Amino acid sequence: MRFFSSSPTSATAEPPRPRKPQPFFEDKIRAFWTLQLAGWTAWFVLRAISGLANGQPITLLAPLLISGITGFSLTLLLAVVFRTLLHRRPLVMWPLVVGAVLLATIVYSFIDASMVAIQPGAEDLPFTTLFLVPFYLDAVTLGAWSSLYFAINYFLRVEQQADQLERLEGQATASTLAMLRYQINPHFLFNTLNSISTLVLLKQTEPANAMLSKLSAFLRYTLVNEPTAEVTLEQEVETLKLYLEIEKMRFEDRLRVRFDVDPRVAQARLPSLLLQPLIENAIKYAVTPSEEGADIILTAHLVGQNVRIVVSDSGGGLNPDMSVPTSSTGVGLANIRDRLTQAYGEAASFDARHASGGGFTVTIEMPFVAPRAIAPSSEAEQKASLTA
């Protein structure tokens, strides 16, 4: 047993991951106070610059500062009121919102008028005049603040609903992929168990035991991977070879398979067990009906930014009359098409046709998905299941 020391100069030390920036509205309380402080500070600075630029004395800053503090405090109270009204019906909410803004504007203008009244030279002006002069500006200020408050809350609510919808769509997609994946196991088991049953009836116990062992290894692999998991094309080919070892015991030399996989796409990722129904269909419709068997060829190459996978056989082709009952469960090709749609949408294509020289050809084209890091334990489990 070897022991490795974790020295500071270790070449395998993992570099620190960059910190993911946090969205501004992720913390709503922090975002509210940031906007509140920044907004009222900008209000004070602009009013001060405007007043001094118009020849107002420096003493203007004192009542202006008090006016800013008053507006800051009143909008905090309005925020509390608005928060309690957000979940009310619109016919109830909006009249109360208008009433709260009007009441806050009256208080705001009263305080502003009181501050102006104590200034030198304002003794002869009636208080009503002093009250009405800032009323319009205060109403516009509080009205704009309230509109911004409701606009931001509406935006956050829409974003929250969009995130919730995206999560629900993701869950629905995962459920659909799981359902489609689970269709494969009974589809495969139905045919394999029939073969084992036939061997048992013929009293060929050794081949039956060998087929059961290989079947258990194949099913162990399917249990290691999650139904919605992706595997590399190289792993998918190894799984197909394990499946073909089972079928080889049935067809022997009648089943001839060749793989031609471009090394550049060996690490491309695709849904687990996507290609197995293609090989199974080729065996059913090309190898089974023919005494001489058939050739099955799987090729995978890089075409632009896509991976093109072609599975072809030299048999008589797929049964053109799909309404004729067969021993197949009938989910193979439809399953692949649906899984491609769920995984890649319109970015993937699926084409199945009879070849001009005989046989049947299925072409799959899908985006080249860069390989992701696989956990060492998970990778070890997959390899162990394939070699078991």
| Domain co-membership, 266 together with 366 | yes
Does residue 71 sit in helix, strand or coil? Answer: helix
What is the C-alpha to C-alpha distance for residues 92 and 198, in angstroms, rounded to an integer? 75
Can you give the pLDDT at residue 132?
Answer: 87
Among candidate residues 116, 134, 167, the one where a domain is terminated:
167
Q: Which amino acid is at 351?
A: D
Residue 19 domain-assigned (yes or no): no
What is the C-alpha to C-alpha distance for residues 334 and 274, in angstroms, rounded to an integer? 11
Q: Find out whether 142 and 68 touch, Cβ atoms under 8 Å.
A: no
Q: State the residue range of the domain holding 286.
A: 229-320+327-373
Q: Find out whether 336 and 350 touch, Cβ atoms under 8 Å.
A: yes
Higher-confidence residue of 170 and 164: namely 164
| Domain co-membership, 151 together with 280 | no
Can you give the pLDDT at residue 9?
Answer: 40
Q: Does pLDDT of 307 surpass 90?
A: yes
| Domain co-membership, 161 together with 241 | no
**Short-list 187, 235, 242, CA closest to 216:** 242
What pLDDT band is residue 139 in, cutting at 50, 70 and 90? very high
Can you give the pLDDT at residue 184?
Answer: 53
Mean pLDDT of 313-334: 55
Q: What is the pLDDT of residues 82-133, one digit of tens each?
A: 999 988 888 989 999 999 999 999 999 999 888 877 777 666 678 888 888 8
Residue 74 domain-assigned (yes or no): yes
What pLDDT band is residue 271 in, cutting at 50, 70 and 90? confident
Q: Does pLDDT of 263 surpass 80?
A: yes
How is 132-179 classified by DSSP, letter by letter? HHHHHHHHHHHHHHHHHHHHHHHHHHHHHHHHHHHHHHHHHHHHHHHH
| Domain co-membership, 29 together with 163 | yes
Q: Find out whether 43 and 149 touch, Cβ atoms under 8 Å.
A: no
Higher-confidence residue of 363 and 211: namely 363
Look at the pTM and tell me if it is higher than 0.75.
Answer: no
Q: Find out whether 225 and 382 touch, Cβ atoms under 8 Å.
A: yes
What is the C-alpha to C-alpha distance for residues 202 and 208, in angstroms, rounded to an integer? 10
| Domain co-membership, 268 together with 162 | no
Mean pLDDT of 189-200: 78
Q: Find out whether 274 and 236 touch, Cβ atoms under 8 Å.
A: yes
| Domain co-membership, 257 together with 340 | yes
Which stretch of 199-213, 285-299, 333-347, 364-378 has the lowest confidence by average pLDDT?
364-378
Sequence-ordered list of residues with C-beta below 8 angstroms from that of 386, at least 6 positions apart, any chain: 217, 221, 235, 238, 239, 242
Whats the size of the chain, residue-wise? 388
What pLDDT band is residue 295 in, cutting at 50, 70 and 90? very high
Mean pLDDT of 185-213: 77
Can you give the CATH number for the domain in which 282 is found? Answer: 3.30.565.10
Residue 60 domain-assigned (yes or no): yes
| Domain co-membership, 163 together with 241 | no
| Strands across the sheet containing 294-303 | 255-261, 294-303, 306-313, 360-367, 349-354
Can you give the pLDDT at residue 14?
Answer: 44
For a pLDDT cut of 70, what percent of the chain falls above it?
Answer: 76
Residue 100 domain-assigned (yes or no): yes
| Domain co-membership, 125 together with 252 | no
Which stretch of 2-11, 124-133, 361-370, 373-382 has the lowest confidence by average pLDDT?
2-11
Beta-ladder partners of 257:
296
Mean pLDDT of 206-224: 77
Residue 200 domain-assigned (yes or no): no
Q: Does pLDDT of 384 surpass 80?
A: no
Can you give the pLDDT at residue 10?
Answer: 39
Residue 146 domain-assigned (yes or no): yes
Mean pLDDT of 312-331: 54
Q: Does pLDDT of 7 surpass 60?
A: no
Domain tally, the chain: 2
Helix axes 90-117, 61-85, angle to 10 degrees: 160
How is 179-194 classified by DSSP, letter by letter? HHHHHHHHHHHHHHHH
Q: Does pLDDT of 3 surpass 70?
A: no
Residue 301 domain-assigned (yes or no): yes
What pLDDT band is residue 325 in, cutting at 50, 70 and 90? very low
Beta strands in 38-135 (DSSP E): none
Burial (CB < 10 A; 0-12, 13-18, 19+), residue 324, is exposed
Which of 76-80, 268-272, 357-361 is predicted most confidently? Answer: 76-80
DSSP 265: G
| Domain co-membership, 241 together with 144 | no
Q: Does pLDDT of 183 surpass 70?
A: no
Among candidate residues 127, 147, 167, the one where a domain is terminated:
167
Residue 385 domain-assigned (yes or no): no
Beta-strand pair 255-261/306-313:
unpaired
| Domain co-membership, 151 together with 275 | no
Among candidate residues 167, 183, 198, the one where a domain is terminated:
167
Q: What is the pLDDT of residues 222-236, one digit of tens each?
A: 666 665 578 899 989
Can you give the pLDDT at residue 222?
Answer: 64
Mean pLDDT of 168-176: 59
